[in-house]
Amino acid sequence: MGQPRLNLKGVTTLLVDSDLFTRGLVANILRGFGMDSPTVGETGRMAQHHLEHHYADLVIMEGGLPDMPAADLIKWIRKQEKSPFRFVPIIVMSGYTQLRLISAARDAGANLVVKKPVSPAALFDRITWVARTARPFIETSDYIGPDRRFKNIPPLDGKMKRDSDETEAADGNGIETQQSLNSAA
């Protein structure tokens, strides 16, 4: 089989990083992939403000934002129940000194974490992954985000595997399915 082909034209990206030069680096990589220029923000608050007024198909953020933990921004996004960006794919870029924050970002609901320096190959493969992989979203009292146990297996058949996995009946078959939320914008 051939290599992956992605059509990223028209994908709107929100890039959040406090460092101007890093924003330029990542933006250049994305443009090299055929993507439009990303909207950029320096802080978590700027990202929240942008998302309150605009849509994004993809969020790429650094692991250590200057004004709030990246985990807080991710949780805020995942808790926007009425918003089309609630399920937006989030890729977190971790600097060398931010590697301790990785587990917090993942537990907050990030789709993927990538170590800086971000190579074109690493970023392209991760965008391909989040674009092509239908990963279930889990919503519990203390976690909203992609299934962390997911290993490229088909979606569940509606039967919970453990007794504690009591699913709130939402559509008659025990699984609440929300589709095309993101395409509403």
Partner 1 sequence: MAGKAKKKIHFPKTRLAELAARSGGILRDDALDGASKSLEGMRDQADTQIRAAIKAMEDIVFSRAAGEALDDSQMIAILRHADQIVTLAGTFCYATLDTAAKSLCDVTDGLIRAGVHSRQPVAVHVQTMHLLAPGTMRLSAEHAEKMLSELAKVSAHFNFESLAANQVNDNIEMNAEQLKS
Q: According to CB under 8 A, which residues from 63 to 92 bind partner 1?
A: 87-89
Number of residues that bind partner 1 (CB under 8 A): 87
Under rule CB under 8 A, residue 166 binds partner 1: yes
Candidate ranges 2-10, 39-47, 68-76; the one touching partner 1 (CB under 8 A): 2-10
Under rule CB under 8 A, residue 118 binds partner 1: yes
Q: Is 174 left (phi over 0), alpha (psi -120 to 50) or beta?
A: left
DSSP letter for each residue of 36-48: PPPEEESSHHHHH
- Residue 132, judged by CB atoms within 10 A of its CB (0-12, 13-18, 19+), counts as exposed
Whichever of 73 and 123 has its CB closer to partner 1, that residue is 123
Binding partner 1 (rule: CB under 8 A), the pick from 67, 97, 159, 173 is 97
Binding partner 1 (rule: CB under 8 A), the pick from 82, 152, 157, 172 is 152
What is the spatial distance between Cα 93 and Cα 115, in angstroms, rounded to a whole number? 6
Under rule CB under 8 A, residue 4 binds partner 1: yes
Candidate ranges 37-45, 46-54, 68-76, 149-157; the one touching partner 1 (CB under 8 A): 149-157
Chain centroid to Cα 53, Å, comes to: 18
